[in-house]
Amino acid sequence: MKRLLSFCLFMFFSLNALASNGKVLVVVSAADQLVLKSGGVVESGYFVSELAETLRQLEANGYEFDIATPGGKIPTVDGYGLQMYFYKAAVVSNWPRYALSPKAKAEEERSKDIATALKYFGKLRFSNRYANEEVSAFLDEIEQKIEHQQLVEKPMVSLESLVSEKKLEQYDGIYIPGGHAPKTDLLFNEDLGDILTHFHENEKITAIICHAPIVLLTAMEGVYDPFVPLTYEQKVNFIYKGYNITLGNKSEEVILENFLYLKGSRLQYYVAEKAKEAGLHVSNIRVPSMSQVVEDRELITGANPSSVYSLASKFIEKLKNK
């Protein structure tokens, strides 16, 4: 695994940008915590697997992109999402696309994801570093490999500046990766609501994955609050009302609560239920952790980390055909 990680780091630090076929806005949560139903807090962040693959596909197809976060803060990689459980599930779900054994391919994909994050963010921040012993050892190895490079954090675009400075016209599409972190900051960001409204009204391609599709509700009138009943006006005037989507379903979240992430703690709410309350048509008919992508008009949604390969490919396809 050490030789594989070294090779991936070398390759992604050495890549040159291709000629641009267009430009995409990538919005990433900067949150590093999640509030639980009990009122307690756990570490959180974005899932690097849901971001890195899309960045690689955009770059390989000649697209430029800006990465924006609330306040221009450096986002935090959720170490929980680095567990081999997710990577093996993705490999199996996308079989026979990958010919290697699930374990070998999963290790390769994870190393590529970290290399991609290092390329675009510089020095990385991690939460849930001790998700399990294997993740902890993997992160120790990464830090040993890159410590001599003296990396610094690369500046991010401020999400708020894109609205105030009227810069959205330059983008052909928008992509938002998940993890639980978007529920902490992006869901309450009014500027993101304005940004999504711009992409909707101009029929620009919008791709969102895992828990992140819940941020579609920022495009409602007023400030969305998952703990306050929606008004009649919010439901009727919701720009995505009636859209078909997918996102993390309740059965997957219950697995996270009881066996993986939360170890018996409870989430404040389930994203699929809130999406349905808002008038979205949610498709969750699948085996947990298996890939699912739903396309409706300009919007493409992916269910979970296993869906990123198909979602990214569909996103690129729609960008090219726009």
pLDDT given for residue 82 in this prediction: 96
Residue, of 11 and 90, whose pLDDT is higher: 90
The residues, any chain, with a CB within 8 Å of residue 149's CB and separated by 6 or more, are none
Residues 35 and 41: their CA atoms lie apart, in Å, by 5
Tell me the HSE value of 265 on the side-chain side, using a 13 A CA sphere: 16
Residues 6+ apart with CB under 8 A from 162: 25, 68, 168, 191, 195
pTM of the predicted protein model = 0.92
pLDDT tens-digit readout, 230-247: 999 999 999 999 999 999
- Taking the alpha carbons of 13, 19, 23, 24 in that order, is the dihedral positive or negative? negative
Q: What is the mean pLDDT of residues 276-288?
A: 90
- Looking at every residue in the chain, the average pLDDT score rounds to 90
Q: For 68, how many CA atoms within 13 A lie in the half-sphere containing its CB?
A: 24
DSSP collapsed to 3 states, 238-270: CCCCCCEECCCCHHHHHHHHHCCCCCCCCECCC
Tell me the backbone φ, ψ of residue 268, rounded to 5 degrees.
Answer: -70, -30
- pLDDT one-digit tens code per residue, 240-273: 999 999 999 888 888 888 877 777 789 999 999 9
Confidence at 25, pLDDT banded by 50, 70, 90: very high
- pLDDT bracket for residue 16 (50, 70, 90): very low
- pLDDT (tens digit per residue) in 148-160: 777 888 989 999 9
What average pLDDT score do residues 276-304 get? 93
Q: Which residues contact 185 (CB under 8 A, 6 or more apart)?
A: 29, 30, 31, 70
Task: Report residue 290: phi and psi, to 5°.
Answer: -95, 150
Structure tokens at 11: 């390759």
The rounded percent of the chain whose pLDDT value lies above 70 is 93
Residue type, 155: P
Concatenated DSSP letters of 130-145:
TSSHHHHHHHHHHHHH
Q: pLDDT category, 13, cuts 50, 70, 90?
A: very low
What are the pLDDT digits (tens) for 87-117? 999 988 887 766 668 888 999 999 999 999 9
